[in-house]
Amino acid sequence: MAQAIIRESETEALKFPSDQDASGRSLGKEEIDLVSQAILSGTLTSTKGNFTRTLEKRFAERIGAKFAYACSSGTAAVHLAVAAIDPEPGDEIITTSITDMGALAPIVFQGAIPVFADVDPRTCNVTAETIADRISDRTKAILVTHLFGNPCDMRPIMELSRSRGIPVIEDCAQAFLGQSGDTMVGRLGAVGCFSLQQGKHITTGEGGIVVTDDAQIARRMYLFINKAWGYGDPNPDHYFLALNYRMSELQGAVALAQLDKLDKGVRQRTNLAMRLTDALQGLAGISTPYVYPGNIHTYWKYCLRVDGRRLEGGSPALGKVLKTYDVASMPRYIQKPAFQCKIFTDQRTFGNSRWPFTLARPEAVDYSPKRFPGTFSALEQVLVLPWNERYTQRHVDHLASSIREAVKSIDGGRS
Ligand SMILES: *Cc1c(COP(=O)(O)O)cnc(C)c1O
């Protein structure tokens, strides 16, 4: 009883920083200074200004890539990568069943077919084996997502890519500064895509950026941002179908200031995550994040796995009890696999044409649950905790004790 009273009064004092407002964002004087300079310069387009260009240079340096191009969103970033690979209509791009729609819609807009690979339930990420199972003679690219900031097991994926001559696109929207071995994510595949949306590691509200070492891919991505207009060429033209995906100087200025804060934020997120992982060791029915050997997870979210055989009601039940402790969580993350969204089940695309799905091999659009055991098992188990570099040790300790108590309450007194 006494314990319960102490816990309640602590909860009252303890507000969790949120990435949806100033409490959980690192936006401040540095951003204001740069954005003021951008405004006073009178040049808000990145085709003429210097902020976005400087951001691109600094981001490329930080990731260790030859080229970086800023764009209007993470979705645009993925679109640039897909457009640079330049699939023929009906070509296939193998991707993951657990990701953001922004990583999938661009494939369809480029006339290609997203072919969903199953995931490793320990990480919710695709693996070399699940990708290999989906390769066909129409496979044009592999698009992996490093979900929650936890990098895929990239060594075997890159071996597969090299042996089959299929390029890899990395969606790093959730995984800034994550590493696979010694290499930063975004540098393993042909292209790395990042998002600067409100809730990501660093933000400009909306925004994206791509990196590559390949000069030809870089050129195509640059053109795709700019309506394929050959700025600076002797006889410029609109060379192919493309959009205006430019980042403005306002966003470029904010992103430049945010980039300086990225390392510290990632360090904080990682240290806090280690503290929670330590505090949850030995808790029956709960698994802390699994990281592939040699990789570095940068904790966009902190994802637990709840064993429903051990804990009555599994992840949703735990989420419900946690709510009574004022602990927010997302049981089952996106709820259903991406391939169960209407865009794929109804093939609602351009008018009533169903294009490009009309070009698909039947197997490429076979979404039978039996082909996705890892995906369903993963979504069944995951409980996603919001994570933030502004959490303090007290926040983490509150999370740990709440999770321990919640587990106890649904474990039928066994633990
Ligand atoms: C956020 C996100 C995107 C899309 O980025 P936007 O900036 O929201 O368009 C794509 N992929 C993943 C994995 C994401 O988390």
Together in a domain, 41 and 180: yes
Asked if residues 10 and 397 have their Cβ atoms less than 8 Å apart, the reply is: no
Together in a domain, 39 and 179: yes
Give the DSSP letter of residue 15.
Answer: P
As a whole number of angstroms, the distance between CA 124 and CA 290 comes to: 10
Nearest to 81 by CA among 187, 158, 191, 213: 191
Query: One digit per residue, pLDDT tens: the chain, 415 residues?
Result: 444 445 555 545 689 999 999 999 999 999 999 999 999 999 999 999 999 999 999 999 999 999 999 999 999 999 999 999 999 999 999 999 999 999 999 999 999 999 999 999 999 999 999 999 999 999 999 999 999 999 999 999 999 999 999 999 999 999 999 999 999 999 999 999 999 999 999 999 999 999 999 999 999 999 999 999 999 899 999 999 999 999 999 999 999 999 999 999 999 999 999 999 999 999 999 999 999 999 999 999 999 999 999 999 999 999 999 999 999 999 988 889 999 999 999 999 999 999 999 999 999 999 999 999 999 999 999 999 999 999 999 999 999 999 999 999 998 756 5
Q: 20, 75, 384: which to mutate for ligand 1, most atoms within 8 A of CB?
A: 75
The CATH number assigned to the domain holding 303 equals 3.90.1150.10
Number of domains in the chain: 2
Together in a domain, 271 and 213: no
Together in a domain, 21 and 47: no
Q: Within 203-313, where are the H helices? A: 215-225, 249-279
Domain extent for 283: 2-25+262-333+377-410
Last residue within a domain, chosen from 210, 236, 261: 261
Last residue within a domain, chosen from 246, 261, 276: 261
Together in a domain, 173 and 314: no
Burial of 85 (C-beta count, 10 Å sphere; 0-12/13-18/19+): buried
Give me the catalytic one of 29, 48, 57, 200. 200
Query: Is 344 within a domain?
Result: no
Nearest to 323 by CA among 409, 201, 415, 414: 409
Q: Which residues 6+ apart lie within 8 Å of 142 measured at CB? A: 93, 94, 95, 131, 157, 160, 161, 166, 167, 168, 169, 189
Is-catalytic flag, 200? Answer: yes
Please give the distance, rounded to the nearest whole angstrom, from the Cα atom of residue 91 to the centre of ligand 1: 23
Together in a domain, 319 and 240: no
Query: Is 37 within a domain?
Result: yes
